[in-house]
Chains A and B, each alone.
Chain A
């Protein structure tokens, strides 16, 4: 099974800050990596697919990069509505999620 790790597990940042989350796979998954946002009490929402493609309707301050085993998710300018937990998800074989990164406002 492919194991996914995310770091940090949580972070606090100020409005307007650049926020970066990393996701690492235990083996090469090419670009088979998606990012989801889950706000408290809500279902997850797809933000980025295939490592770097922005889902339709998602603000451009969200971006993703990487391939192989190392991936990065970035919020270029943190907004109050971005408070959420962010999950990476691989699908090189059967799907699997990272443990999540909780993002708060400082």
Chain B
């Protein structure tokens, strides 16, 4: 059974940093691209970042480019999101999502339950 478990969320002041983690199990982790998707309270879904299975390619939404860094450790079946220079508009529930592989890296076939990041003074 595929499981994705996020952690690392919390309350941080504007300008601060936070590192999110996602522990994956139930599939061959390094075979699949992984994503971060966020959802501000009461709002819709926003794609944040993608990393390829081998970690060699990364992509970011314009809203986080230059401030967030996605990475993965395939030996630990773990995905990370380093978030720097946080802004109040980064407040959201952050989901880890798995790319579907066979029918596309950009099809999100499994999602975690999310970890909440609150940026507030």
Residues of chain A touching chain B, judged by Cβ–Cβ distance below 8 Å, are 1, 32, 34, 36, 38, 42-46, 49-50, 53, 55, 87, 89, 91, 94-100
Contacts and interface: CB of A to CB of B under 8 A. Distances in A.
A43 B108 CA distance: 11
Contacts of A91: 104, 106-107
Most chain A CB within 10 A, of B44, B46, B61, B95, is at: B44
B62 to A, nearest CB: 8
A45 B45 contact: no
B106 A95 contact: yes
Most chain A CB within 10 A, of B47, B59, B95, B114, is at: B47
A61 B62 CA distance: 37
Contact of B111 (A43, A55, A96): A43
Q: Dominant SS at the A interface?
A: loop
Nearest to A96: B47
- Interface band, chain B: 20 to 34
B113 interface: yes
A49 B45 contact: no
A26 B10 CA distance: 36
Contact of A49 (B46, B59, B104): B104
A43 B95 contact: yes
B113 A43 contact: yes
B5 to A, nearest CB: 12
A42 B45 CA distance: 13
A89 B113 CA distance: 19
A34 B107 contact: yes
B47 A43 contact: no
